[in-house]
Each structure stands twice: as structure tokens, then as C-alpha cells.
Chains A and B, each alone.
Chain A
Amino acid sequence: MQASIVVTTANAHRFDPAARSRATAFVVALLVLWPLLVWSQFHPALLFETRNLAAIAQFLGGFLPPDMSVEFLRHVMRSTIETVAIATAGMSLAFLIAVPLTVANTRALSIARIGPGPGWRMSRVLHVISRGLLVSLRGMPELVWALVFVRALGLGPAAGVLALAITYGGMLAKVYAEILESADTEAARVLLQAGSGRTLALVYGLLPVAASEIVSYTVYRWECALRASVVMGFVGAGGLGQLMDQSMKMMNGAEAATILVVFLLLVLVADAVSAALRRGLA
């Protein structure tokens, strides 16, 4: 009895009342999608073309077993250390770039904001310049900088380090300023009003409340820098990425598999280290 009622009511609404509007939306979406598919040269059949299938099958077939020869592993080891070193060196340069920009960009440290004093016009100009610098440093992705520096300085880690220093310098400065702003700025204001300099106000007024967050963000960024330095290797900026690019260009699946595994392990370890460090700070 109960079941038959359910069936008849289900039959009464056999067709979804919203079906028509949904079908229309679907057709419109397809019409919008069509040019996108054309522009992106969407041809799934390409994946099954014999030439491409043969290439990828040969490459992926080489994945097992991964290349575990001692000589190659030593090579990978050296590249891994290089990747970590690129990330660390890049971050330390980025930090050097970020500190003065942060001081210039943090409104809580602006003496001119308290009231017009001598030289406030100058500080306004400096502020605009430093803000513009910030935006232009961050605007270009690190991979583009790396490509440009590889052309200027040649293949190798120097391009990666400089690219990281520039983009991460801008990024760190922006986030540092935001962290300092979001903390309690009262102490810094009082110090500035009492006539202390910016450095003193930063060290005694802002850092005590914001230091742990700043350090934790820096550690997180180091983790990102590690991944970025691997990726930048693909345009020739040294480290694990460059090695992987070479293996892929030579279609050597066994080598690529080893590098991929090492990369995943590296990311895992960096993730764990950074999480542990940040937990220790909290």
C-alpha cells in the first residue's frame, strides 16, 4: 500500500519540473564552451595516436624499475642538495630585500601619518616608490624571471636564486606589512609619538606581538621556494628540475621515475619539517 503510493507520486513527477531550464543552461554552456575548445586545440584523439601512444608508452614503460645505479643516485643527491641550497639562498636574499620594503610600507611605522613633521613630503614620495617597487617585483612569476636570468647569466643556480630573491622579496614584504598591520599597533604608535625612530618602534612595538606569525610565514614560504626551485630547473636554473628536464628530453623514463620519487619525498620531508617548526612556534 505504502509502496504503491510512492510509485504513483513518483510517476506523477516522472519528469523533473526543472528539466527544461537545466537543458537550456546546458546547451548555452556548450555554445560558450565551443570556441574555448577550439582555441585550446582540444583533440582527445591525439592521446590515442599511435606515434604519441608509442612515445608515452616507451617513456612510462621505462619508469619501472627506476634507475637506482649508484652513479645516478649520487647525481640526484647532488641536485637535491642544490635545490635545497637554491631555496635557502633565495629566501635569505628575499628576506634582505623584504625587510627595508616592509619598514617603508607598514603604515603603523609611518611617522608622517602621525602628523606633518619635517620631511613628510619626502616620505610620501618614498612610500609611493616602495609600493610601486613591491607590485612590480611580485607581478612577474618567478619562472619568467628565471627564464630571463638564464638568458642573461647562463644556465645554473644563480638564475634561480635571483628569481626567487626578487619575487619572494616582494611577496614577503607585502605579507610582512599585512601581518604587522593586523597585529596590535598601539604600542608602536605610542613609541613613535614619544619620538622614537622607526627601527625602535618596529623592534619594541610591533615585533613582540607579530614575530611568531612572521617566522611561521617565512618557514612556509621556504617550503614554497623549494617547490619553485624544482620547477625553475625546467628552464635551466639548476637543481633537481634541470636534471629532470634533461631526463625527459632524452626520454629516459627510469631516470625520470627516480627523480620524481625523490622530488615527492623532498616535498613530503619539507612539509613535515615546516609543519613541525610552525607547531614549535605556536
Chain B
Amino acid sequence: MNLDHRALRICTKCLFAMALLATLVVASFAYLSLGLERLLTIDTARELARFLLSFFPPEVSQRYLLKTANATLETLAVSAVGTLLAAAFALLLALPASGRYGSVMRACTRFVLNLLRSVPELIWAALMVLAAGLGPFAGALALAAHTSGVLGRLFAEALENAPAAPAAALVEAGAQPAAAFLYGTLPNVLPQLLSYSLYRWEINIRMAAILGFVGAGGLGQMLYFELSLLHQTQACTVIIAMLLLAALVDGLSAMLRRWLTSA
């Protein structure tokens, strides 16, 4: 009897959840009035298909391929510089955020880290384009801003979890706090910090490729430009370069991970 009652109650609960979900979905479609049903009419569907087909064949003239390769290098450089800046900045912020200078500083820097982290890269890029002008440098700064928020928190946690004994022993032997940190704490956490940074670099390569949409250089800026001018075949080449870059990064990181775990 008791059991029956419970089963019944759970079912009303999930029925209620289902109804709520259905209402939300219907309301969303109604609010947006997307007119997606026009995609089902033959004319619009044909139009869309013609547009998507106009991307092929991709532009493969040597000059254009060189230009794309150049933009790819720019994207890679943006991601690398952005991640490096972020790692340096994150380490600076992680020191107070790990509670080294008291709990007030800890709370304050954690708030800053949260703020840096919750603004997406693309919004940072739009801001940085204003601060540093159009070009890849703005992209590197944008990646640095968001990533230092992410890495700062991870670094702070790594520092908090690091064994305290080595640094304490150095301080007791008369070492300055800075030396104790550099020789007592840092060597213990460095591998972890490195692996976090590498992981974020992998994400940032993909990100750097699209930050250009707001003018921050690299493949993204090229794609935005070509699509604005209705150069679909050129845009196709750039998209293929993006996909290749992502696949390459995927493959390399899988290889690196396998190598690291086997070694």
C-alpha cells in the first residue's frame, strides 16, 4: 500500500515535469516565431540548398592557400600567446586566491577570477578590439583574459592542495618566503599547472579560430570577411582549414596524452 502510494506520487511529479518542459518548449517556439516551417516549402529549401552548394568547390589557387596558411599560423600564434599570458597572469592571481595573503585577499581575488571566467571569450574579444584595435593582438588579449580566470581557479586549487611541509622546512631553515615558494611549493605543483595549461591551449586553438568574427584576426576574421562579400568558395577553404586545424589538434593531443600516460 505504502509502496503504491510512493509510485503514484513519483509519477505525478514526473508528469508535472514533463508538462512544464512541453510548455517551455512550445512557448519558446511561439515566442520566437521562427518561421522554420518555411524551410519545409520547396522554394526556400531549394534556395538554402543552392546556397550551401555554392560553397563548393573550395578555392584552391596557390595564392589563396598561402593566405589561408598564413591566417592559420596567426591563429596558432594567438592561441599560444594568449594561453602563455593567461598562465603567467593566473599564477600571479592564484597566489592570493589560494589564501596565502589572508582570507580577505582570497575572497577578493576569487571574485575577480569568477568575473574574468564568466565573460565569454568572444565578448572579451569585442572589448579588446576597442582597447587594442583590430587584429590578432586583441584576440590574444581576449583569450588571456578569459583563460586566466579559468586557470587561476585551477592553479589556486592546486596550490591549496600542495603539501605544505617542503616550503615550511625551507622557511624554518631561514629561506625567504619567495625562495620557499619557488623551491618548496612550485616544483610539486608544476606538472599539474603545466597539464592544465596545455589542456586550455587545446581549447584556445579552436577558440582563436573563431574570435576573428569580431575582428580579432586569424582564420575567423578571414571567414567573416569572405562571407560578408559572398565569396562562398573562399569561405569554404577557410572552413576546411579550421576543420583540419581542429582535427590536427585533436590527434596531437590524443597522441601526447597516450605518450604521457605510457611513459
Contacts and interface: CB of A to CB of B under 8 A. Distances in A.
B174 A89 contact: no
A89 B130 contact: no
A85 B242 CA distance: 30
B137 A43 contact: yes
Interface string B120-137: 101100110011110111
Interface of B is mostly: helix
Contact of B217 (A41, A46, A153, A235): A41
A27 interface: no
Contacts of B84: 33
A268 B114 CA distance: 11
Given A147-B227, A151-B227, A41 B135 contact: yes
B24 interface: yes
Nearest to A35: B77
Contact of B213 (A39, A85, A143): A143
A144 B223 contact: yes
A132 to B, nearest CB: 13
Given A144-B210, A147-B223, A42 B25 contact: no
A52 B122 contact: no
Interface in A21-40: 33, 35-40
A85 B131 CA distance: 33
A36 B80 contact: yes
A143 B131 contact: no
A33 B81 CA distance: 8
Contacts of A49: 133
B229 to A, nearest CB: 11
B24 A88 contact: yes
B27 to A, nearest CB: 7
B122 A41 contact: no
B89 to A, nearest CB: 13
Contacts of B256: none
A169 interface: no
B35 interface: yes
B31 A148 contact: no
Given A40-B74, A47-B131, A84 B120 contact: no
B16 interface: no
A235 B220 CA distance: 12
Given A157-B32, A227-B120, A231-B120, A52 B132 contact: yes
Interface string B171-196: 00110000000000000000000000
A128 interface: no
B157 to A, nearest CB: 19
B56 interface: no
Nearest to B77: A39
A41 B136 contact: yes
A7 B174 CA distance: 8
B140 A39 contact: no
A235 B123 CA distance: 12
Contacts of B74: 39-40
Interface of A is mostly: helix
Contact of B239 (A3, A38, A144, A244): A144
Contacts of A238: 32
A89 B9 CA distance: 29
Interface string A47-61: 101001001100100
B120 A141 contact: no
A231 B51 contact: no
Contacts of B227: 147-148, 151
A140 interface: yes
A144 B242 contact: yes
Interface in B221-239: 223-224, 227, 230, 239
B243 A139 contact: yes
Given A39-B74, A52-B132, A52-B133, A82 B210 contact: no
Nearest to A151: B227
Interface in A224-271: 227, 230-231, 234-235, 238, 244-245, 248, 251, 260, 263-264, 267-268
Contacts of A153: 48
A46 B139 CA distance: 13
A49 B132 CA distance: 8
A141 B137 contact: no
B136 A230 contact: no
Interface of A: 3, 6-7, 10, 33, 35-43, 46-47, 49, 52, 55-56, 59, 81-82, 84-86, 88-89, 92, 139-141, 143-144, 147-148, 151-153, 157-158, 161-162, 227, 230-231, 234-235, 238, 244-245, 248, 251, 260, 263-264, 267-268
Given A42-B140, A43-B137, 4 more contacts: A39-B78, A52-B133, A139-B246, A147-B213
6 contacts: A39-B77, A40-B136, A55-B130, A84-B28, A141-B206, A260-B119
| A-B residue pairs, 7 tightest by C-beta | A39-B77, A85-B28, A40-B77, A88-B28, A56-B131, A89-B28, A36-B77
